[in-house]
Amino acid sequence: MRYLPLTPDDRARMLGVIGVPDIDALFVDVPAAARRRDLFDLPLHAGELEVERELGALAARNRPAGAGPFFCGAGAYRHHVPASVDHIIQRSEFLTSYTPYQPEIAQGTLQVLFEFQTQVAALTGLDVANASMYDGSTACAEAVMMAKRVTRREKAILSGGLHPHYAATTQTIAHAEGMQIVRQAAAIDAEADVIDAIDAETACVVVQTPNVFGVVTDVTKIAEAAHAAGALLIVVTTEAVSFGLLKSPGEMGADIAVAEGQSIGNALNYGGPYVGLFTCREKLVRQMPGRLCGETVDAEGRRGYVLTLSTREQHIRREKATSNICTNSGLCALAFTIHLSLLGEVGLRRLAALNHSRARELRDALAAVPGVEILTPRFFNEIAVRTPGDAAALVEAMLADGVVGGVPYSRLAPDAGLDDVLLLAATETTTTDDIAALSAALNRRIGR
């Protein structure tokens, strides 16, 4: 059965109104060589039961992160999301996956976004946050574009500790804007290299902490060097739980802070959708992308919420817009807000401390494996190690032992020449038995 409501007579009448003899005439401008006459190599239509059976078989080929020892991180982290989060986000006054185009009738949604902004600003130690971005990588790119507008300069320096996917996303967007991107070579600890590269032409410096290798850095000196040259400091964080334990970007002198918020309230979800966090100092707010929700009172003095600032193309003239971001990750931001509200400040600090404790256990276990070299001197919950031989091959071998043993750096940056570097993360979901299984697998594969 084909789910097409139009009959042949309907289509004939439509073509008559348009003034063409047949459907092929609509595609006359498409070169014949680009047209396909036969069917694509795809399954034909099937009934609902058959489709469910087929999709179920495909899904069964995947291994859930919770199916056994799991040490993947590299920008996406497995954390426990309480069942209460999924329950609360279903409430109709909060739930929307899209943008409040008529904000005055979406008070519940606007209140959530206002609370979200408040939480994110507090986490990052900066003055104002927007009502979310797509994800951490696009937030990073937007921050670089914002720095260009603020400083009227064209050069951005990307630290060698920045996640390669964030760097690639930024390069793609910056190319279209005509910016010069100086992407430094991968470095375990890149502080000195970044400071040396800053000059009078620099619009911004982008650093990550904890960086892609897990290294925690106090970027205060980088902030001082950037500001002395008239540049902005952009701090990137891919693990939002680290805000519960580490010094905030604002405390270290950041002008803009961006982050991936997936760790709070959102599961791994095959890599998305996630939620980008974006904050800055108040004096820069007019150049911030996206939208801001504010609190006000109505004509009768009752508290209400409004879209205070909307600088995107859909709201104002294109030439005046700061960004073409088309929506916010509303549902993911809602889950973030609910989870963080349930945790509270004390809960977040305890969760962060537990993550670090598990990572210390992991570090000790890795250090005891012959042939494994710890590369990360200061860490939160992620550690980089050097392995004897190819790290990707080692990860594949450990899969046979039932252990997902981390992310080879070569998967993130195939041409970096770091094929022997392996990234491993431990969170509150990691158990002592998981670490023991990893240790046994490593010893079996390389430590004998």
pLDDT at position 330:
87
pLDDT at position 36:
83
Q: What is the CATH number of domain 83-340?
A: 3.40.640.10
Tell me the pLDDT tens digit for each residue of 267-316. 999 888 999 999 999 999 999 998 899 999 988 999 999 888 876 655 66
Tokens for 55, please give them: 């999709």
CA-nearest of 249, 180, 190 to 220 is: 249
pLDDT at position 1:
47
pLDDT at position 312:
64
Please list the rounded mean pLDDT of every run of 10 residues in the chain (448 residues): 77 94 91 86 88 94 94 98 94 71 77 95 97 94 96 97 98 91 94 94 98 97 98 98 98 98 95 94 93 90 88 64 73 95 98 98 97 96 97 96 97 96 98 98 84
Asked whether this chain's domains 83-340 and 348-445 adopt the same fold, the reply is no
CA-nearest of 431, 425, 96, 83 to 267 is: 83
pLDDT at position 2:
59
Note whether 275 and 332 are within 8 A (CB): yes
Note whether 399 and 72 are within 8 A (CB): no
Instruction: Look up the CATH superfamily of 348-445.
Output: Aspartate Aminotransferase, domain 1 (3.90.1150.10)
Give the residue extent of every domain in the chain.
Answer: 83-340, 348-445
CA distance linking residue 192 with residue 267, whole number of Å: 36
